[in-house]
């Protein structure tokens, strides 16, 4: 980690100034307590998930800026400046281990960390920003005030031509050889003169963020290799279980403790499935009724969901037995399927009480042939999805909005819009968990029920 004479953070412990925004280029030679290893990572994860949430809600840049600031303040601040920095760096490197392991994880981590970096960079002062740019070997020179005055009207013209305008705080411009910014040149988004492009602050942020992203992308691949070849095995008893659990951690209410008001009985289940199940569970439910069978993935996803919804073990056994026995017979059901249902409820084996899947988990699963689990917004063809939504009672303009979200791969937003269309009410929090969909739906349909105590 480099220490560069940069700016603000008044480190009371030493006289060395520190880069407030680390570039995470090399793992720090710091000692970490095992508890901190996990805690730091979880705090950072809360920040990243908050960003993810904000982005998928389509928050505007100014709102994101505020959001990132708040998230960071809430989760990553600490009394001592040096501790803040340590936590920042350590948490990043831990999450790197967690999120390097598959393509999807890497993609998500890359996007969120880059966003985080981008918003933090914007808030740095000019000197710190220049220091960071120098770290990235960006040969940018600040345009002097004199020069700025002479080209100001041209810069204003360019800004207006791309729908922006020069404001007072945008008077910092950087001069860089045009070869360095081909995208900006191609789109005529910069003023160029004598081979130099005059890049505004917004554009600089984009460029730095792009470099940060590509640097992180390469490192993630390397980290993955190291993980699979040495670390995972080495740390089998210490870090590995923590790492593997971290990315599955969904940091909201986990619905593992069913709430009273949400209890459903077997005789209501068909009704309630139609009115309050999210599409993913409704689909599984309908297929179960139709085929009298579900493969493993589907059994897990639906089974745990039902548990979260309030179906107790006996009712669950009765439910699955009723369906499966049509196909496999009573005896086979008891032999092959009953055990795993009890297992899900924590009554067998290591007695872990499994939590129902969050949207993130559902979306990231990969249904194969004969499977019906996963997120329908992701996996259904457009035709099938439209038909399914129609059956749920979504039509007209609402369907188009949903399909638009799907096309942009905002599956949870699509589900949220579906919810809103069916219930005729806004869902401000957005759908993050199938059980949340269910409980929110029930709240609207049965308003007399009291609010449950917080289960998180």
Partner 1 sequence: MTKEELQNETDDMLIDGYGPEALGQKQKSHVPSEFNPDHLKVFYGKLFPYADFFRWLSYGNDGKHPGCDPSYISRREFSFSLDNDIFLRFQSFHSAAELENSIKEKCPFKIDIGPVYSVEPTKRHAYAHSGDNVFAPVERELIFDIDMTDYDDVRYCCTGADICLNCWPLMTIAIKVIDTALRDDFGFKHILWVYSGRRGVHCWVCDGKARRLTNEQRAAVADYFRVYKGNENSHKKVSLTGHALHPFLVRAYTEVLREFFEKGLLISQTLLSTEERYEMILELIPDAAIASELRGRWQDNGRSSSAKEDINVVRWEQLKHLVSKNKGPGLRRCVEEIVFSFTYPRLDMEVSKHMNHLLKAPFCVHPKTGRICVPIDPNHCEQFDPTAVPTLSQLLEELNERGPNDDLDDEWTGTSLEGAVSYFRTSFLQPLLKACKEGIESSYNAKLQQSKNSFSW
Annotated binding site for [4Fe-4S] cluster: 280, 359, 375, 415
- The number of residues that bind partner 1 (CB under 8 A) is 22
Closest approach, Cβ 195 to partner 1, in A, equals 3
* 179 binding partner 1? (CB under 8 A): yes
Q: Which residues, 211 to 270, sit near partner 1 by CB under 8 A? A: none
* 139 binding partner 1? (CB under 8 A): no
* 162 binding partner 1? (CB under 8 A): yes
On whether the CB atoms of residues 306 and 320 are closer than 8 A, the answer is no
**Angle (CA) 303 304 307, round 5°:** 90
* 158 binding partner 1? (CB under 8 A): yes
CB atoms near residue 137 (< 10 Å): 8
CB atoms near residue 404 (< 10 Å): 13
Closest approach, Cβ 161 to partner 1, in A, equals 4
Residues 163, 368, 447, 453: which binds partner 1 (CB under 8 A)?
163
Closest approach, Cβ 10 to partner 1, in A, equals 38
Residues 25, 73, 77, 160: which binds partner 1 (CB under 8 A)?
160
- And the tokens for 5? 């004479």
Closest approach, Cβ 152 to partner 1, in A, equals 12
Smaller CB separation from partner 1, 143 or 427: 143
Residues 154, 236, 326, 335: which binds partner 1 (CB under 8 A)?
154
Closest approach, Cβ 3 to partner 1, in A, equals 25
User: Cα 27 from chain centroid?
Assistant: 24
- Classified as helix, coil or strand, 43 is helix
Taking the C-alpha atoms of residue 28 and residue 96, their distance in angstroms, rounded to an integer, is 13
- And the tokens for 208? 């730095």
- The span of 57-65, 159-167, 377-385, 402-410 binding partner 1 (CB under 8 A) equals 159-167
Strand partners, 200: 173
On whether the CB atoms of residues 389 and 381 are closer than 8 A, the answer is no
Nearest C-alpha neighbor of 305 from the set 347, 348, 254, 350:
254
Taking the C-alpha atoms of residue 391 and residue 271, their distance in angstroms, rounded to an integer, is 14
Annotated binding-site positions: 280, 359, 375, 415
* 183 binding partner 1? (CB under 8 A): yes
- And the tokens for 57? 């809600």
On whether the CB atoms of residues 172 and 236 are closer than 8 A, the answer is no
Smaller CB separation from partner 1, 146 or 186: 186
* 150 binding partner 1? (CB under 8 A): no
* 191 binding partner 1? (CB under 8 A): yes
- Classified as helix, coil or strand, 295 is coil
- Burial class of residue 151 (count of CB atoms within 10 Å of its CB; 0-12, 13-18, 19+): middle
* 137 binding partner 1? (CB under 8 A): no
Closest approach, Cβ 167 to partner 1, in A, equals 15
* 182 binding partner 1? (CB under 8 A): yes
* 138 binding partner 1? (CB under 8 A): no
* 136 binding partner 1? (CB under 8 A): no
Residues 161, 230, 352, 395: which binds partner 1 (CB under 8 A)?
161
- And the tokens for 13? 């412990």
Smaller CB separation from partner 1, 165 or 381: 165
Residues 15, 62, 168, 187: which binds partner 1 (CB under 8 A)?
187
Residues 25, 73, 141, 188: which binds partner 1 (CB under 8 A)?
188
b vs e for 238-272, b when ≥16 Cβ sit within 10 Å of the residue's Cβ?
A: ebbebbeebbebbeebbbeebbeebebeeeebeeb
**Angle (CA) 47 301 420, round 5°:** 65
Q: Which residues bind partner 1 (CB under 8 A)?
A: 154, 156-158, 160-163, 178-179, 182-183, 185-188, 191-196
């Amino acid at each position: 980690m480099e220490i560069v004479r940069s700016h603000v953070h008044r480190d009371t412990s030493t006289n060395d100034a520190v880069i407030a925004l680390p570039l995470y280029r090399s793992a720090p030679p710091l000692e970490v307590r095992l508890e901190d290893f996990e805690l730091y990572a979880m705090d950072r994860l809360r920040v990243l998930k908050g960003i993810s949430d904000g982005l998928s809600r389509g928050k505007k840049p100014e709102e994101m800026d505020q959001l990132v600031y708040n998230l960071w303040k809430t989760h990553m601040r600490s009394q001592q400046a040096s501790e803040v920095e340590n936590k920042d760096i350590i948490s990043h490197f831990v999450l790197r281990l967690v999120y390097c392991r598959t393509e999807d994880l890497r993609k998500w981590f890359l996007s969120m960390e880059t966003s985080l970096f981008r918003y933090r960079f914007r808030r740095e002062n000019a000197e710190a920003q220049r220091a960071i740019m120098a770290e990235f070997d960006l040969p940018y020179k600040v345009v002097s005030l004199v020069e700025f005055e002479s080209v100001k009207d041209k810069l204003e013209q360019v800004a207006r031509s791309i729908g922006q305008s020069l404001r007072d705080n945008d008077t910092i411009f950087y001069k860089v050889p045009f070869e360095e910014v081909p995208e900006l040149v191609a789109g005529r988004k910069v003023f160029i003169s004598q081979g130099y492009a005059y890049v505004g602050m917004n554009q600089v942020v984009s460029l730095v963020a792009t470099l940060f992203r590509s640097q992180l992308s390469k490192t993630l691949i390397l980290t993955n290799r190291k993980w699979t070849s040495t670390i995972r095995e080495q740390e089998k008893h210490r870090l590995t279980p923590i790492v593997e659990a971290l990315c599955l951690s969904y940091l909201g209410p986990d619905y593992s403790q069913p709430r009273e008001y949400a209890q459903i009985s077997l005789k209501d289940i068909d009704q309630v499935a139609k009115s309050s199940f999210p599409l993913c569970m409704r689909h599984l439910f309908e297929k179960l009724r139709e085929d009298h069978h579900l493969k493993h993935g589907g059994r897990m996803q639906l089974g745990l969901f039902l548990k979260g919804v309030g179906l107790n073990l006996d009712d669950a056994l009765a439910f699955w037995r009723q369906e499966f026995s049509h196909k496999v017979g009573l005896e086979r059901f008891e032999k092959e399927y009953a055990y795993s249902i009890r297992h899900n409820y924590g009554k067998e084996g290591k007695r872990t009480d499994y939590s129902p899947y969050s949207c993130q988990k559902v979306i990231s699963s990969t249904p194969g042939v004969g499977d019906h689990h996963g997120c329908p917004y992701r996996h259904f063809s457009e035709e099938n999805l439209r038909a399914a939504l129609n059956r749920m009672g979504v039509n007209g303009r609402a369907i188009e909005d949903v399909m638009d979200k799907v096309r942009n791969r905002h599956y949870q937003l699509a589900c949220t819009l579906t919810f809103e269309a069916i219930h005729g009410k806004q869902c401000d929090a957005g759908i993050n968990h199938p059980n949340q969909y269910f409980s929110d739906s029930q709240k609207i349909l049965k308003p007399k029920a009291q609010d449950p105590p917080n289960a998180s």
